[in-house]
Amino acid sequence: MEDVARLAGVSTATVSRTLRGLPNVADETRDRVLQAAQSLSYVVSPFASRLATGRTHTVGVIVPYASRWFFGQIVAGAESVLREHSLDLLLYNLGDIPARQRFFGQLPLRRRVDAVLTVAMQFTDAELSALGSLGVPIVAVGHDVPGAGCVRIDDVAAAATAVQHLVDLGHRRIGMISTYNDQSMFLPVAHARRRAYVETLAKAGVPLSEDLVISVPHGMDGGEQAMRRLLTLPDPPTAVFAESDELAFGALSALRRTGRHVSVIGFDDHELSALLDLTTVRQRVFEQGVLAAGMLRRAMTTNGWTPEELLMPTTLVLRASTWPAAVRTVGAG
């Protein structure tokens, strides 16, 4: 900084104000300082700046599964906004119970972040207390968290739209591929979408058979496994609602390999859904990350910020993987 000040003919204080973007620096002086800094390849140390301001310029992001498409899209959307505001992103992947216990036991976010973004996670009272002790704004995506801002969809209503579509096509043997029994991480989505399945069938007067609900681990392999089990039933379903598109992809693979015909509808509108002609419920995942990061920015820059809730719309996207029950009966062979 002294070298820049010497080359520009100003004080080190003026260099500091200029490079930090503070006011009260004449335009001519600012230009001279910036040119001197560029010629010397000098930039302000972020660590020194953080010590001086007490701010970390970092947002902590907590996800249960960083490698999954949904979570990756949320993080990508948030990062696109945070980057524009020179904010760093610190990612914590709580992929199993030991990792979760270690995280909340040590709370490594303390004094390292100015805000927290959580993605599709449900917390115990003790975990909420630990997060609250950080004293920073919190925004949740995909599930409401007490005391936090929230960007989400109505999972129950959206999943009901998917099941109702199958009912409207005349299907009465409607299965579901779920991750309901694989919820050791307190993920709320499986519960909400299974609830919608049960309630929609009941409202339509369609009998609910427990053997039509298959709970498997998340992913294409799980979806294929579930569909193969459904096809072995004495009276297999004519249609299936998959909790996510990735489960639906596996279901479609099983049908292709066995030559069977079952209507399949997914949830999310994954980037591969159009390629596989999958009927699905679209939620704008990347945009949810963008909006959540924008909400965090408002929380970080607004005195007395009050947590907001933003409910995003969903859309039924009709493609070739669903058809009327009568058509399936004719083509079933």
Q: What one-character-per-residue DSSP string does 162-197 give?
A: HHHHHHHTT--SEEEEE-TT--TT--SHHHHHHHHH
The CATH fold assigned to 2-44 is 434 Repressor (Amino-terminal Domain) (1.10.260)
Q: For the whole prediction, is pTM greater than 0.85?
A: no
Confidence of residue 332 (pLDDT cuts 50, 70, 90): very low
Q: Are 282 and 267 in contact (CB under 8 A)?
A: no
Q: What number does CATH give the domain 54-153+285-311?
A: 3.40.50.2300
**pLDDT tens, 10-20?**
998 898 888 87
CATH 3.40.50.2300 in the chain is located at 54-153+285-311, 155-283+316-331
CATH 1.20.1260.10 fits 155-283+316-331, yes or no: no
Radius of gyration of the chain (CA): 26
The one-character DSSP state at 14 is: H
Which of 269, 268, 252 has its CA nearest to residue 260?
A: 252
**pLDDT tens, 79-123?**
999 999 989 999 999 988 899 999 999 999 998 999 999 999 889
CATH 1.10.260.40 in the chain is located at 2-44
pLDDT at 331: 41
